[in-house]
A and B are shown apart, each in its own frame.
Chain A
Amino acid sequence: GQQVMQIPQYQHVQEGEDFTTYCNSSTTLSNIQWYKQRPGGHPVFLIQLVKSGEVKKQKRLTFQFGEAKKNSSLHITATQTTDVGTYFCAAQGSANAGGTSYGKLTFGQGTILTVHP
């Protein structure tokens, strides 16, 4: 089945430093989603990337989808203590792959971000 590798597993930064997490797939993805899960919480949808080479920004967060649609990254500029949590990428099944795969998400292992004040 589809696999998505995410690195690093852990990242410790000082407040104000930048942070990046990467996702890679051996197969071309139809799209990729990013989620944030605070400690003790549930995954919260951040964004979906669909187009090759797409770049989207949300305040200090920048999301990129690779040209080959096999990799993606999430970059946080000038981290704050509120950014603490686990960031997951998730590849979504394509509607073209058959009705039963649409909407199904294959999650990366997640990157646990800690921010030291």
Chain B
Amino acid sequence: SAVISQKPSRDICQRGTSLTIQCQVDSQVTMMFWYRQQPGQSLTLIATANQGSEATYESGFVIDKFPISRPNLTFSTLTVSNMSPEDSSIYLCSVKPREDTQYFGPGTRLTVL
């Protein structure tokens, strides 16, 4: 199994500011993803974090709003830029260490005032 940690676990931010979320995995994984779960909703994929190249974003998500870094196979960051209250969500890092399994981090609970 893969153990995933995220920092911060939660934060309250003012609109217009930016927050960077860190995801650390205890083993090297090729496939790493960032998801968003809005209050009371299901999970939506934001992007695939690619090591050594630009992230691959899903429809509705853009790099200027959600820049992602993936400097190595155990670490990634997601920045939520120029935040608005609509960005209040749980942001989750996920990895796929093997074909038949996938793991999620504990999530970062973001509240934007």
| Chain A interfacial positions (CB closer than 8 Å to B) | 1, 33, 35, 41-45, 48, 50, 88, 90, 100, 102-110
Q: How far is the CA of A41 from the CA of B102 in the complex (A)?
A: 16
Q: How far is the CA of A104 from the CA of B43 in the complex (A)?
A: 12
Contacts of A48 in B (CB 8 A): 100-101
Binding-face segment, B19-27, B73-81, B103-111: B103-111
Q: Write 8 A-B pairs (CB below 8 A) sorted by A numbering.
A: A41-B106, A43-B92, A43-B104, A44-B104, A104-B58, A105-B35, A105-B43, A105-B94
Q: How far is the CA of A1 from the CA of B59 in the complex (A)?
A: 9
Indicate if B44 sits at the interface (CB-CB under 8 A): yes
- B92 contacts A104, CB within 8 Å? no
- B33 contacts A108, CB within 8 Å? no
Take A42-B92, A45-B102 as given contacts and tell me if A103 and B42 are in contact as well, using a CB distance cutoff of 8 Å. Answer: no
Size range of the interface on B?
A: 20 to 34
Candidates B42, B100, B103; contact of A107 at CB < 8 Å:
B42
Contacts of B104 in A (CB 8 A): 35, 42-45
Q: How far is the CA of A92 from the CA of B94 in the complex (A)?
A: 13
- B105 contacts A105, CB within 8 Å? no
- B43 contacts A107, CB within 8 Å? yes
- A105 contacts B102, CB within 8 Å? yes
- Name the interface residues of B33-55: CB closer than 8 Å to any CB of A: 33, 35, 41-45, 48
- B102 contacts A110, CB within 8 Å? no
A79 CB → nearest B CB, Å: 22
Take A45-B101, A45-B102 as given contacts and tell me if A107 and B48 are in contact as well, using a CB distance cutoff of 8 Å. Answer: no
- A105 contacts B31, CB within 8 Å? no
A25 CB → nearest B CB, Å: 14
- B101 contacts A104, CB within 8 Å? no
Indicate if B96 sits at the interface (CB-CB under 8 A): yes
- A108 contacts B42, CB within 8 Å? yes
Q: How far is the CA of A109 from the CA of B101 in the complex (A)?
A: 20
Contacts of A44 in B (CB 8 A): 104
Q: How far is the CA of A48 from the CA of B100 in the complex (A)?
A: 6
Contacts of B33 in A (CB 8 A): 103-105
